[in-house]
Structure 1
């Protein structure tokens, strides 16, 4: 009986402190996080492929081949 009461009180505290009871589906937005993660991964793979193609050594003009690729890397995601 005491264990059941502790379990109930624990759930009540968590509900109150996290606000999980304030929404119909607390994990309903997890698809968005998953989709965003997939998009970031796909963009990172493209960048890695470009780095492999260009190499990592500085060019004779002093420009590093990776610099322009990394500016604004998360823009548009």
Structure 2
């Protein structure tokens, strides 16, 4: 693991720590970085599902909140 020194907004760090349930700045940063990775992995899965169902995000005719037959 590498050691990095950065300036962090204390208020933002406190809010993110409370949201993630962490108690130290180091734990907060580690948890936040893991959350970004998990979110990107979820987005990749959703994109693959949409490609398989032939549905496109940019298709204005598709109601993005309606489940299509491909989701069932």
Q: TM-score, normalised by structure 2?
A: 0.43
**Bigger share in helix:** 1
